[in-house]
Structure 1
């Protein structure tokens, strides 16, 4: 069973991703989802096994996207950042985009 993070951790990470990293959410959705050009993507949750996004297509249709953590299962808040950065780096590699420094 995947590790469940507490409400404070979920709120902190989701708030940060959806206010400060909206472009990264779209990049992750482009690289790992079925739509190569989503209009929007919002991180909706995560657990010890991966992250969840709501992806909105240009026609307004919304789909769920689940992406496993690249490094495997996690159980500590500090590991969430590491895994999201790894997803970002992998998304850049898949899309042929130079990642920004971390």
Structure 2
């Protein structure tokens, strides 16, 4: 059964991602939009709109004025704890950078 996070976790993570990581949201949307048949370069902005224990969800805007929902499974599998959300979003960011040929910035919380 998919874990559903409480409202405080949802609000906290989504507020942080959309206020502080708009560029990361855009990279993630562009990297994973191809699976929906949308060309990555046509995505002009992206907002993280939700998540649960199985996936993160972004709504992307395209240059033609359309929108697209992009649901991306967590790379490490199902999660159930709030700290795991950060780990999985960082993993998605790193994979998005790899797919798009972008050098990822270092992650201060990682050691070694």
Q: Report the TM-score range of the alignment, normalised by the length of the smaller protein.
A: over 0.9
Q: Measure the CA separation in 1 of the matches of 2:45 and 2:19.
A: 13
Matched, 1:89 2:94: yes
Q: Measure the CA separation in 1 of the matches of 2:45 and 2:103.
A: 21
Q: SS at 1:89's partner residue?
A: helix
Q: Measure the CA separation in 2 of the matches of 1:97 and 1:67.
A: 19
Counterpart of 2:11 in structure 1 is 11
Q: Which runs of 5 or more structure 1 residues have no equivalent in the other structure?
A: none
Q: Measure the CA separation in 1 of the matches of 2:101 and 2:29.
A: 15
Q: SS at 1:14's partner residue?
A: helix
- Superposition deviation, residue 35 in structure 1: 3.1
Counterpart of 1:70 in structure 2 is 75
Counterpart of 2:40 in structure 1 is 36
User: Bigger shift: 30-39 or 9-18?
Assistant: 30-39
List structure 1 runs of 4+ shifted beyond 2 angstroms: none
What is the RMSD of the two structures over their aligned residues, measured on CA atoms?
0.7
Total equivalences in the alignment: 102
Counterpart of 1:54 in structure 2 is 59
Q: Normalising by structure 1, report the TM-score.
A: 0.97
